[in-house]
Amino acid sequence: MHSPAELATQFRSMGRKLTPQRQLIFSLLHNNQSHPTAESLYGVASAQMPGISLRTVYQTLNELAEMGELLLIDIGEGGTRFDPNIDEHHHAICSDCGKIRDVHVKGASSLKPNDARDFLISEVGVVFKGLCAECEARGSKRSPALQAKMSQKPKSSSK
Amino acid sequence: MHSPAELATQFRSMGRKLTPQRQLIFSLLHNNQSHPTAESLYGVASAQMPGISLRTVYQTLNELAEMGELLLIDIGEGGTRFDPNIDEHHHAICSDCGKIRDVHVKGASSLKPNDARDFLISEVGVVFKGLCAECEARGSKRSPALQAKMSQKPKSSSK
DNA sequence: TTGTTAGTTAGCAATACTTGCAAACTAGGG
DNA sequence: CCCTAGTTTGCAAGTATTGCTAACTAACAA
Ligand SMILES: [Mn+2]
Ligand SMILES: [Mn+2]
Ligand SMILES: [Zn+2]
Ligand SMILES: [Zn+2]
Q: What is the 3-state secondary structure (H, E, C) of chain B?
A: CCCHHHHHHHHHHCCCCCCHHHHHHHHHHCCCCCCCEHHHHHHHHHHHCCCCCHHHHHHHHHHHHHCCCCEEECCCCCCCEEECCCCCCEEEEECCCCCEEEECCCCHHHCCCCCCCCCEEEEEEEEEEEECHHHHHHCCCCCHHHHHHHCCCCCCCCC
Question: pTM for the complete prediction?
Answer: 0.87
- Where are the CATH 3.30.1490.190 domain residues in chain A? 87-111+121-144
Report how far residue A116's alpha carbon sits from residue A82's, in angstroms, rounded to the nearest whole number: 30
Contact of A68 with chain B, judged by CB distance below 8 Å, is answered with no
> Which pLDDT band holds residue A140 (cuts at 50, 70, 90)?
low
| Residues of chain A positioned with their CB less than 8 A from the CB of B124 | 126-129
Between residues B55 and A139, the one the model is more confident about = B55
Distance from CA of A107 to the nearest CA of B (A): 9
Give me chain B's average pLDDT, please: 89
Residue in A with minimal Cα distance to B71: A76
**A65 CB inside 7 Å of strand D:** no
- Chain C: bases < 7 Å from a protein Cβ: 6-21, 26-29
CA A134 – CA A148 distance, rounded (Å) = 17
pLDDT at A152 over 70: no
pLDDT mean over B87-112: 95
C-beta of residue B34 within 8 angstroms of C-beta of residue B97 = no
Q: Which CATH architecture has domain A1-70?
A: Orthogonal Bundle (1.10)
- pLDDT, tens digit, for every residue of B49-69? 999 999 999 999 999 999 999
Q: Which residues pair with A83 in a beta bridge?
A: A71
* Closest CB to B113 among A95, A103, A111: A103
Q: For A136, how many CA atoms within 13 A lie in the half-sphere containing its CB?
A: 14
Give me the residues paired with residue B101 across strands: B92
Per-residue pLDDT averaged across B4-30, rounded?
A: 97
**Which residues are CB-contacts of A152 (< 8 A; sequence separation ≥ 6)?**
none
Instruction: Tell me how close the Cα of A102 comes to any Cα of chain B, in angstroms.
Output: 8
| Chain B residues touching residue A118 (CB < 8 angstroms) | 132-133, 136
Kindly report which amino acid residue has its CA closest to the C1' atom of nucleotide C10.
Answer: A53
Q: Range(s) for CATH 1.10.10.10 in chain A? A: 1-70
- pLDDT at site B138: 86
Q: How confident is the model at residue B140 (pLDDT cuts 50, 70, 90)?
A: low
Q: Sorting pLDDT into bands at 50, 70 and 90, what band is B146?
A: very low
**What integer pLDDT is reported at residue B35 of this predicted model?**
98
Name the DSSP class of A37.
Answer: B
CA-based nearest residue to A22, from A37, A42, A8, A36: A8
* Bridge partners, B92 (sequence order): B101, B128
Q: Which residues contact B67 (CB under 8 A, 6 or more apart)?
A: B10
Please give the Cα distance from A100 to A94 (Å, whole number): 7
Q: Which residues of B touch A94 (CB under 8 A)?
A: 119
> Integer distance in angstroms from CA A79 to C1' D16?
6
> Is-contact B85 B69, C-beta < 8 A?
no
Which residues have CB less than 5 Å away from ligand 2 (the ion)? B 83, 85, 102
Closest-approaching ligand to the CA atom of A89: 1
- Cα angle value B38/A37/B92 (rounded, 5°): 45
Residue to test with chain A: of B61, B91, B102, B120, most A Cβ within 10 A: B120
Q: Which CATH number does B87-111+121-144 carry?
A: 3.30.1490.190
Q: Quote the pLDDT of residue B68.
A: 97
How many Å apart are CA B72 and CA B125, to the nearest integer? 12
What is the Rg, in whole angstroms, of the alpha carbon atoms belonging to chain A?
18
Quick check: A122 and B111 CB within 8 A?
no
Average pLDDT over residues A114-119: 92
